Amino acid sequence: MGKRSYNKTPMREQDPAVRQHNFKEVALGYDLKEGRLEANRCLQCKDAPCVLHCPVMIDIPGFIKQIKEDDMEGARKILDRYTNLPAICGRVCPQEKQCEMVCRLGQSKKFEPVAIGKLERLVADWALEQPNEVTNITQDKGKVAIVGSGPSGLTVAGDLAKLGYQVVIFEALQLPGGVLTYGIPEFRLPKQIVQKEIDQIIAQGVKIETDVVVGKTITMDEIRQEFDACYVGVGAGTPHFMEIPGTDLNGVYASSEYLTRINLMHGYEFPDYDTPIQPAKNVVVIGGGNVAMDSARSAKRLGAESVTVIYRRSQAELPARVEEYHHSVEENIEYSWLTSPVEYIAGDQGQLVGVKCIKMKLGEPDTSGRRRPLPISGSEFVIPADTAIEAIGQGANRILLDTFPELVTNQRGYVKAHERTCATSVPGIFAGGDIVTGAATVILAMGAGKIAAKEIDEYVQFEKASTTV
């Protein structure tokens, strides 16, 4: 083996000057040669800390070793044992806060960690190009309903189908995938990739019924009568609002609506699709997480001349992935740190013409441990804007919960479920993902799904005889 390079093998990307005008994927992936080069940097640690920091405990040195040995089929088989959605996770997982954060190579000052996520993506993309293996597992162990087709529900479904269950997913929207489909934009996660990984789950025998809102189209009682167990993975997509004057003006959006119009309803292809997104010249995005980055970068691609993200803390506290922040800066997104909106200003037609803001300073830490932002009186100023997008967080999706009060929730409105079993207050009903944790990550939602699949299997095989679902 040649000398180990200090830095990760760079991944080719679309030129920022070009990509800020299109919705095509930014990161272009490794080819096999680049993948082998990166795989060669792995130390193959016996007590691999990277594995312990992966919520689904992928055998990371194992699949990297197969890439090194040019055995892509072997690498794919290893990934298949742990995850149903590797091409998605390889793209959107916050590896820098999980496996890569503890990578032994990266602990030495000279070296960057192994690019584990990029290698996962390489194997997964390679696998998607291979002929789809049709599995013929007899599905006679029982019937399980899943509510919600986000990463959590899809993971439970895939794992239970492999165990021999008949699985039906009920999804409220017209397409499956949850946030993967309606939230995360095409330039970070192509919808074709999401669909291909979902197709592989369908190929295992899982049925997905879209346009079914559980709690309206069908009830939980009907589900309980027909199925042996049910998994609730309905996510946390209800937007929070700043609730400042002018929120009802034309041009003020919640990020979830803005991104759904673009991603799910093809807003960026207006007039070919009839979902309008108002053309904007000056856009203000409020928030500092991934959702804010996605909204800002989407607005730029829709043709905005200026896009300013306003965040009430400083850059050091920005919760978004560092990679997404850097990409946004390359795409000419501007930032106004320590700034909070106080009012949306109306023009004479009732449309937004500006966002009145106030400067903030950081005080003592609050309950989250982060320093509390405090307004500086007299520091108000106006940013001219015809569109404002609020990306300040989301809460529980309530439709199912409101019609099924037996399911106990916590003070924040999320379903109470056991951390190690995903069991809820109702026997036979399990829950996980964002509807339990609050808005979190794809891999944590998948981790809960893996736990739930095992527990549902145990429940149906051993406990159900003494309990009624």
List contacts with ligand SF4 (CB under 6 A): 42-45, 48-50, 60-61, 103-105, 114, 116
Tell me if 287 contacts ligand FAD by CB under 6 A: no
> 48 is in the binding site of which of ligand FAD, ligand SF4, none (Cβ under 5 to 8 A by kind)?
ligand SF4
Work out how close the CB of 409 gets to ligand SF4 at its nearest, in angstroms, rounded to a whole number: 38
Q: Among 87, 122, 88, which Cα is nearest to 8's?
A: 122
> What is the token pair recorded at 132?
């789809």
In this chain, which stretch among 22-30, 209-217, 278-286, 348-356 interacts with ligand FAD, using CB under 6 A? 209-217
Q: Which does 152 bind (CB under 5 to 8 A by kind): ligand SF4, ligand FAD, none?
A: ligand FAD
For residue 352, the partner it binds in ligand FAD, ligand SF4, none, with Cβ less than 5 to 8 A by kind, is none
Which of 23, 82, 126, 170 forms a contact with ligand FAD (CB under 6 A)?
A: 170
Residue partners of 253: CB distance under 8 A and separation at least 6:
387, 388, 389, 390
- The piece of 56-64, 88-96, 120-128, 461-469 that touches ligand FAD (CB under 6 A) is 88-96
Minimum CB separation from ligand SF4 for residue 39, in Å? Answer: 9
Q: Which of 434, 414, 413, 417 is nearest to 425 (CA)?
A: 417
Return the number of the residue (64 or 157) whose C-beta is nearest ligand SF4: 64
Between residues 71 and 330, which has the closer beta carbon with respect to ligand SF4? 71
Cβ 223 vs Cβ 145: under 8 Å: yes
Peptide bond into 131 cis (omega under 30): no
The smaller minimum CB distance to ligand FAD, of residues 291 and 429, is found at 291
- How far apart are the C-alpha atoms of 272 and 391, rounded to whole Å? 27
Residue (of 440, 461, 412) closest to 151 by Cα position: 440
Among 83, 397, 409, 424, indicate the residue that binds ligand FAD (CB under 6 A). Answer: 397
Burial 244-283 (b: 16+ CB within 10 A, else e): bebeebebbbbbbebbbbbbbbebbebeeeeeebeebebb
Listed in sequence order, the residues at least 6 apart from 81 whose beta carbon sits closer than 8 Å to its beta carbon are: 59
| Cβ nearer to ligand FAD, comparing 79 with 320 | 320
Nearer to ligand FAD, 153 or 288 (CB): 153
Q: In this complex, which beta carbon is closest to ligand SF4, that of residue 48 or of residue 277? A: 48
Q: Is 173 in the site for ligand FAD (CB under 6 A)?
A: yes
Query: Any idea which residue has 């993971």 for tokens?
Result: 155
170 contact partners, CB below 8 Å, separation of at least 6: 145, 146, 147, 148, 209, 212, 214, 217, 218, 223
- Select from 387, 232, 242, 372 the least CA-distant residue to 302: 387
Q: What is the largest CA-CA distance in the chain?
A: 70
List binders of ligand FAD among 210-269 (CB under 6 A). Answer: 213-215, 233-235, 237, 259
Does 86 help bind ligand FAD (rule: CB under 6 A)?
no
The burial class, CB within 10 Å (0-12 / 13-18 / 19+), for 362 is middle
Residue number with CB closer to ligand SF4 (107 or 217): 107
Q: Which alpha helices (DSSP H) does 220-272 contain, by range? A: 220-226, 255-263
Minimal distance, residue 51 CB to ligand SF4, in Å: 7
By CB under 6 A, name the binding residues for ligand FAD: 92-94, 147-153, 170-173, 178-179, 183-184, 213-215, 233-235, 237, 259, 290-291, 294, 397, 399-400, 433-435, 439-443, 445
